[in-house]
Chain A
Amino acid sequence: MRRLYAILIAAGFVYMMLSFLGVVPGYGNIDLCSRVSSSFLLKDVSEQNAKNWLMAKGLETKSIEKVYGEKNKEDGCANVVTSIVVNYRSFDTLGEVTVLFTAALGVGLILGGTRRKKYGLLPNFVFRESTRILVPLIILFGAYIFVHGHLTPGGGFPGGTIIAAAALLLYLADEEFFLSKVSTGALEGSMGGLYVIAGLLGLAIGGYFLYNFLPTGRVGNLISSGIVPIVYTFIGLKVGAELSGLITDLHSEEG
Chain B
Amino acid sequence: MMTLAIAIPLIAAFLAAIRKSWGYILYAIAAILNFILSLSLIGAVPSIHALGGWKPPFGINLVLDNASFYAILFINAIFLIVAVFPDIIGKYATVMLVLMAAVNGFVLTGDLFNSFVFMEIISAAAVIIASKRENYYSAFKYLIFAGIAGSLYLIAVIFVYTQTGSLNMAQAAYFSFSQKSLVAITTLFLIGLGVEAKLFPLNGWVMGVYGGNDLAPVILSTAVTFSAMYMMGRLMITIFGGGVLQVLYVLALITMLAGELAALYQKNLLKTLAYSSIGQAGLVLAVLSKGKEPFTSLAYFQLMNEVTAKLVLFLVAGYLVYKYTNLNGIFKSHKVLGTAFSIASFSLVGFPLFAGFQSKLRIIMEAFKGGDYLLPALLLLATLIELTYLIRWNVRLWFEDQVEEGEKGSWRHGFVAIALAIFLVVIFFFPNIYLAPASKMADAITSVSGYINIVTSGLGGM
A contacts, CB < 8 Å to B:
17, 20, 22-25, 30, 34-36, 39-40, 45-46, 48, 50-51, 53-56, 87-92, 94-96, 98-99, 101-103, 105-106, 109-110, 185-186, 188-190, 192-193, 196-197, 199-200, 202-203, 206-212
Contact between B180 and A23, CB atoms less than 8 A apart: yes
Contact between A99 and B58, CB atoms less than 8 A apart: no
A190 to B13: give the CA distance in the assembly, Å: 11
The 8 Å CB contact of B124, one of A23, A55, A103, A210, is A103
The 8 Å CB contact of A24, one of B124, B162, B167, B459, is B162
Asked if B283 is an interface residue, CB under 8 A from chain A, the answer is no
In the complex, chain B residues 324-373 whose Cβ is within 8 Å of any chain A Cβ: none
A189 to B430: give the CA distance in the assembly, Å: 46
What are 30 pairs between A and B in contact, CB < 8 Å?
A: A17-B155, A20-B184, A23-B181, A23-B185, A24-B159, A35-B165, A45-B59, A46-B54, A50-B57, A50-B462, A53-B55, A54-B452, A87-B52, A89-B111, A89-B114, A92-B117, A95-B121, A101-B14, A105-B95, A106-B128, A109-B95, A110-B128, A189-B15, A192-B10, A197-B11, A199-B7, A208-B50, A209-B49, A211-B52, A212-B53
For A102, list chain B residues within 8 Å (CB): 95, 98, 121, 124-125, 128
Please, how many residues of chain B have a CB less than 8 angstroms from a CB on the other chain?
Answer: 70
Asked if B101 is an interface residue, CB under 8 A from chain A, the answer is yes
A193 to B9: give the CA distance in the assembly, Å: 11
- Binding site of B, secondary structure by majority: helix, strand, loop or mixed? helix
For B174, list chain A residues within 8 Å (CB): 54-56
Chain A, residue nearest B170 (CB): A54
Asked if B127 is an interface residue, CB under 8 A from chain A, the answer is yes
A23 to B125: give the CA distance in the assembly, Å: 34
Contact between B60 and A92, CB atoms less than 8 A apart: yes
For B166, list chain A residues within 8 Å (CB): 35-36, 53
Contact between A193 and B57, CB atoms less than 8 A apart: no
Contact between B181 and A209, CB atoms less than 8 A apart: no
In the complex, chain B residues 112-126 whose Cβ is within 8 Å of any chain A Cβ: 113-114, 117-118, 120-121, 124-125
Contact between A23 and B165, CB atoms less than 8 A apart: no
For B51, list chain A residues within 8 Å (CB): 90-91, 208-210
Contact between B171 and A188, CB atoms less than 8 A apart: no
- For chains A and B in complex, what number of residue pairs have CB atoms within 8 angstroms? 188
Chain B, residue nearest A55 (CB): B174
B contacts, CB < 8 Å to A:
3, 7, 10-11, 13-18, 20, 49-60, 91-92, 94-95, 98, 101-102, 105, 109, 111, 113-114, 117-118, 120-121, 124-125, 127-128, 131, 136, 155, 159, 161-168, 170-171, 174-175, 178, 180-181, 184-185, 188, 452, 455-456, 459, 462
- Binding site of A, secondary structure by majority: helix, strand, loop or mixed? helix
Contact between B114 and A92, CB atoms less than 8 A apart: yes
For A56, list chain B residues within 8 Å (CB): 164-165, 171, 174-175
For B98, list chain A residues within 8 Å (CB): 98, 101-102, 105
A103 to B175: give the CA distance in the assembly, Å: 36
For B13, list chain A residues within 8 Å (CB): 98, 101, 192
For B60, list chain A residues within 8 Å (CB): 89, 91-92
For B14, list chain A residues within 8 Å (CB): 101, 188-190, 192-193, 196
For A25, list chain B residues within 8 Å (CB): 162
Q: Given A101-B98, A189-B14, A208-B51, is A54 in contact with B125 using a C-beta cutoff of 8 Å? A: no
**A23-B162, A209-B52 given. 18 additional CB < 8 A pairs?**
A40-B58, A45-B54, A54-B168, A54-B452, A56-B165, A56-B175, A89-B59, A89-B111, A92-B60, A94-B10, A95-B105, A102-B95, A105-B17, A106-B125, A192-B14, A196-B14, A200-B7, A212-B52
